[in-house]
């Protein structure tokens, strides 16, 4: 590598020295300096003072074009006037109730109208809780206990799903062979006794997944998946793979859950509309709250009605919170298909232009993802095909990935995750996109 990680790190820390000081102070009171383990996007967190449109202002006095957008939640960018207005209107009359409000069912109505597979929906305060609720509903509906997930799939930090998000390359001792995977805890503190409740399966391998599902069908309540994974690497599932899982789960009476906490942004009807496959349950979050905390699970009425019959108890102090729901209504009313289409086209331009560039230069870089999410995978050699998180963990050049990530930030762009994933927001202009493409090319030339 021509540009070393050491040099990129120094450039980063020199430019964001005030953030570094704040990060050091924060560690005195917060373990790791932040309440989210992944808030660090470099050697330390970047502290921001404000955000407007597609930009954030840091405490260091720098403006960053935001390709992070709070882990994809801010689809309309920062401080959108209609979302701000909705929040201000609610705050005039009170903002925390133990009663129902109209904003809750208005947001549910929008989701039911937009997503074909969602007959009814309920709310909570995070995507983690949404996936927990989906697991409970699936178990109640089927009378079975196990859940199957794909390796690389992130469904929050509950013990049901906190397995095999980052399989342990290069030897995969803890995760087993790809054709015979075994769940590996993502963190200390996940009880070993729960290992048998969760099955893990490889991405885009229908043969292996079908065998695992059939072998466990008697005990398997649900299969959960992200149509496009995020935390475990940006992998888009193949349509034939998803269709095969839909057919198999229907045949065996197993609930199919699509986690659209991130991917809902791809279409008014979610990424499932683009795939043309209907799940039994859908979990949501992030974008549907307009940037405020929210989660939701919705789906077929025969499953969702368990919530009203008393068979499944669903509650939480802030579930259906009036501020989150009001912000969500304002967000979705302004997050229309023409804006989504434009943003997806911008994402495709980034991927197409940079893919052509790295192929011409013969750089070991793979561009992944569809729509408004793009992944940069720095690999060990050019031309590798990436179909699963195991491929990423096996072939990724972590040093090059970190160098690219740090340089993006130093040069004025805020990516998501350590490998330089980016997600777009609607205020981004064509000039912003062109600037990002040109900067990415310059960084890659400096690295390789």
Domains of the chain, first to last: 5-75+337-447 (3.90.1150.10), 81-334 (3.40.640.10)
Position 418 confidence tier, pLDDT thresholds 50, 70, 90: low
Q: What percent of the chain has pLDDT over 70?
A: 99
pLDDT at position 36 is 83
Is 286 annotated as catalytic? yes
Position 384 confidence tier, pLDDT thresholds 50, 70, 90: very high
- For strand 146-150 and strand 120-124, is the pairing parallel, antiparallel, or unpaired? unpaired
In this prediction, residues 23-29 reach a mean pLDDT of: 94
Position 419 confidence tier, pLDDT thresholds 50, 70, 90: low
Asked if pLDDT for residue 169 goes beyond 70, the answer is: no
pLDDT at position 118 is 99
Which value, to the nearest 10 degrees, does the dihedral of the CA atoms of residues 207, 201, 365, 42 take? 170
Report the candidate in 17, 42, 87 with the shortest Cα–Cα distance to residue 329.
87
Find the catalytic residue in 16, 154, 335, 406.
154
**Distance between CA 207 and CA 255 in Å, rounded?**
19
Find the catalytic residue in 15, 146, 286, 351.
286
List Cα–Cα distances, 426 to 82, 178, 334, 375, in angstroms.
Answer: 14, 38, 10, 19
List Cα–Cα distances, 250 to 245, 280, 289, in angstroms.
Answer: 8, 9, 31
Q: What percent of the chain has pLDDT over 90?
A: 88
Q: Is 186 helix (H, G, I), strand (E, B) or coil?
A: coil
Report the candidate in 1, 148, 44, 91 with the shortest Cα–Cα distance to residue 409.
44
Position 32 confidence tier, pLDDT thresholds 50, 70, 90: confident
Please tell me which residue, 180 or 271, carries the higher pLDDT value: 271
Residues whose CB falls within 8 Å of the CB of residue 154, separated by 6 or more in sequence, listed in order: 161, 165, 226, 229, 230, 231, 232
Is 171 annotated as catalytic? no
pLDDT at position 205 is 98
Question: Within a 13 Å sphere around the CA of 377, how many CA atoms are in the beta-carbon half?
Answer: 27
Find the catalytic residue in 66, 160, 205, 259.
259
In this prediction, residues 287-307 reach a mean pLDDT of: 97
pLDDT at position 170 is 66
Is 16 annotated as catalytic? no
Position 41 confidence tier, pLDDT thresholds 50, 70, 90: confident
């Amino acid at each position: 590598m021509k540009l070393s990680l050491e040099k990129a790190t120094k450039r980063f820390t020199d430019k964001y020295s005030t953030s570094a000081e704040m990060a050091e102070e924060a560690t005195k009171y917060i373990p790791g300096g932040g309440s989210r383990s992944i808030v660090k996007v470099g050697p330390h967190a970047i502290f921001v003072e404000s955000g407007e449109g597609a930009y954030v202002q840091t405490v260091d006095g720098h403006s960053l074009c935001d390709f992070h957008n709070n882990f994809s939640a801010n689809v309309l960018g920062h401080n959108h006037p209609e979302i701000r207005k909705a929040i201000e209107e609610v705050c005039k009359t009170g903002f925390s109730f133990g009663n129902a409000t109209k904003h809750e069912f208005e947001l549910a109505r929008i989701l039911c109208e937009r997503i074909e597979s969602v007959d009814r929906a309920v709310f909570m305060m995070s995507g983690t809780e949404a996936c927990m609720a989906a697991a409970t509903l699936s178990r109640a509906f089927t009378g079975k206990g196990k859940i199957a997930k794909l390796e690389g799939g992130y469904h929050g930090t509950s013990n049901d799903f906190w397995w095999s998000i980052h399989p342990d390359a290069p030897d995969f001792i803890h995760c087993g062979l790809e054709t015979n995977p075994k769940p590996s805890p993502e963190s200390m503190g996940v009880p070993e006794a729960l290992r048998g409740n969760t099955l893990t399966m490889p991405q885009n391998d229908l043969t292996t997944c079908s065998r695992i599902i059939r072998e466990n069908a008697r005990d398997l309540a649900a299969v959960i998946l992200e149509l496009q994974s995020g935390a475990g690497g940006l992998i888009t599932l193949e349509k034939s793979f998803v269709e095969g899982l839909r057919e198999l789960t229907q045949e065996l009476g197993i609930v199919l859950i699509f986690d659209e906490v991130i991917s809902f942004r791809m279409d008014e009807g979610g990424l499932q509309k683009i795939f043309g496959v209907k799940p039994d349950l859908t979990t949501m979050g992030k974008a549907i709250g307009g940037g405020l905390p929210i989660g939701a699970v919705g789906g077929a009425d025969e499953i969702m009605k368990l919530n009203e019959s008393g068979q499944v108890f669903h509650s939480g102090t802030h579930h259906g919170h009036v501020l989150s729901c009001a912000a969500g209504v304002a967000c979705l009313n302004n997050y229309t298909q023409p804006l989504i289409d434009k943003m997806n086209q911008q994402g495709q331009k980034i991927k197409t232009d940079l893919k052509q560039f790295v192929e011409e230069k013969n750089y070991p870089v793979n561009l992944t993802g569809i729509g408004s999410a793009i992944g940069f995978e720095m690999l060990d050699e050019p031309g590798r095909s990436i179909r699963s998180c195991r491929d990423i963990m096996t072939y990724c050049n972590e040093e090059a990935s970190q160098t690219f990530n740090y340089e993006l930030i130093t040069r004025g762009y805020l990516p998501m995750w350590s490998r330089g994933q980016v997600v777009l927001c609607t205020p981004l202009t064509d000039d912003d996109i062109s600037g990002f493409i040109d900067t990415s090319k310059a960084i890659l030339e400096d690295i390789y």
